[in-house]
Amino acid sequence: MTNKPIRKFAEDVGWTLSSSIIVIVVGMLLNIIVGNFFRAQGLGLYSMTLTILLITSIIASFGIHSAITKYTAQYKGDIDKTNRFVTTGFVLTFLSGICFAGIIFILSPLLANVFKMPELKECIRVIALTFVFFIVNKSLIGFLNGLREMKKYAIIESLRYIFILIFTIIFYNAFHTIQSIIFAFPIAELLLFFILLIVCRRHFRFDFTGFRKTAIKLVRFGTPMLFSGMIGQLNSKIDLLLIGYFLMDRDVGIYTAAIMFARGLMIFPSAVQRVTNPTITEFYYNRSFQKIEDLVNTVMKYSFIILSVVAILLSFFFKDIIAIIYPGKIEFINAVLPCQILLFSMIFYGTTGSVGSAVSSSIGRPDIALKLSSITLIINFAFNCILIPKYGIVGAAIATGISLILSFCMIIFLQKRLLKIRLHSQTFIKLILLVLFVYLLLNLGVSLIPHFILLFIGLAILVVGLLCFKTINTEDISLLRGIIHK
């Protein structure tokens, strides 16, 4: 491989990582701003509205944006075919967006009744205005992704959230209502639509030749992606939906404050898996199973260590963080325990997340990821239904944590079964016990020992334990360096 493709790949990863960080940071800022403007009740209403938008938009898109990405990359040199796929996808998503906007608008009273949130009706009617442009924009962004125009892709994804943040502040200062700030979403998507038209029109022209045949092809490819995306989105939102169903909008808001930090922990593993996925695929087809085993063990070990340190620090200081970002909003203190539970489970989920979907995609079996997500969703749903009515948002955190840790166990099992990987189990058991001890010490022993002395003791125990277990060595570092510069 020449220097140019390597440099291009590195730049693409850099742009997508930067975009991911901006999206997560702005998303946190929005939650903090809304929580301060409207307290926990308003944040709960806001989160539920966006959850309904995200889940229903996946259905409305029919996976067409993923199909456009696939066929654009496949026929990158064939301008005529690319034009037909993008044109057909544009028309299909535009029509679907109009239909679903009407459906969601009509169903808004029913959804408000289901979640026992009367104000949700007006919020959903506002967010319904977003559908057409949101879905069309997804298809155009998918087109840029297929062309590997990752700089443009990343900038536009970042602009979406920056626009939403700006208009949220403007509309709040003008109208001071939760419904008014939700108008930030349709306005932002409309602006993004015009920007995308200008950017994408440089790469294609409208061509309606063979529309029906192309439409069938897009829908056939997109439908499996629809189910996969739907299950994935439900997995990440089922706790919020069930809190909204069983409890109150105030509880949804408090839980949102907890989970936004826990999910922020996934920035690192998401970035790492962009490198490990293609590497594992290459090793698999070259029958280099020992290299896969070395890579997976090393990446997972260091991911576990890094995520553990970040999670320990976040959980230890979370009560102080809440006091800073939500001054005077004492109800948000109830987010501390759920966040600590979620952070601990995210250590495990992020550890396997650092090798991504390699366990299925690298061997040409995307169905495995779908089945795994389906099983996780069933487990997640069942435990949330059992625990939320009894323990509230703490029960939701426990249920979600159980599903994440069980997902970790299932991926480990599949790695061993399908990729013939022997996990360094003794090392991981020692690490898990060490992290669990430090985690419990720092989160349960605060009242017994002064705050910062306790932190120093906990981190000292962690460092000494890592050194005693000899978890960090030069061979691992050399392997990772070789993969990064490959």
Closest alpha carbon to 279 in 65, 50, 1: 1
**Structure confidence at residue 62 (pLDDT):** 82
DSSP state of 419: S
For residue 192, pLDDT beyond 80: yes
Would you kindly state where each structural domain of the chain is located, as residue ranges?
1-239, 265-486
What pLDDT band is residue 1 in, cutting at 50, 70 and 90?
A: very low
CB atoms within 10 A of CB 138: 23
**Structure confidence at residue 36 (pLDDT):** 93
For residue 197, pLDDT beyond 70: yes
For residue 276, pLDDT beyond 80: no
For residue 70, pLDDT beyond 80: no
More reliable by pLDDT, 293 or 95: 95
Q: What does the DSSP assignment read for 209-270?
A: TTHHHHHHHHHHHHHHHHHHHHHHHHHHHHHHHHHHHHS-HHHHHHHHHHHHHHHHTTHHHH
The pair of three-digit structure tokens given for residue 441, joined into one six-digit string: 């010490």
For residue 172, pLDDT beyond 70: yes
**Structure confidence at residue 169 (pLDDT):** 94
**Cα end-to-end span (Å), the chain:** 9
Task: Give the mean model confidence (pLDDT) for residues 300-312.
Answer: 87
Q: Which tens digit of pLDDT belongs to each residue from 468-483?
A: 776 666 555 555 455 4
For residue 246, pLDDT beyond 90: yes
- What HEC string does 352-377 produce? HHCCCCHHHHCCCCHHHHHHHHHHHH
What pLDDT band is residue 247 in, cutting at 50, 70 and 90?
A: very high
**Cα–Cα dist 301/321, whole Å:** 28
Q: Which tens digit of pLDDT belongs to each residue from 402-448?
A: 999 998 888 888 777 776 677 777 778 888 888 888 888 887 765 66
Q: Is the pTM of this model over 0.85?
A: no
**Structure confidence at residue 4 (pLDDT):** 53
**Structure confidence at residue 484 (pLDDT):** 47
For residue 360, pLDDT beyond 60: no
**Cα–Cα dist 464/446, whole Å:** 21
Q: Which tens digit of pLDDT belongs to each residue from 141-161?
A: 888 877 767 778 788 888 999
CB-facing half-sphere around the CA of 110: CA atoms within 13 A: 6
What pLDDT band is residue 2 in, cutting at 50, 70 and 90?
A: very low
**Structure confidence at residue 446 (pLDDT):** 57
**The Cα angle at residue 129 between residues 125 and 130, in degrees rounded to 5:** 120
**Cα–Cα dist 368/173, whole Å:** 48
**Structure confidence at residue 448 (pLDDT):** 62
Instruction: State residue 446 phi and psi, 5-degree precision.
Output: -60, -40
For residue 349, pLDDT beyond 70: yes
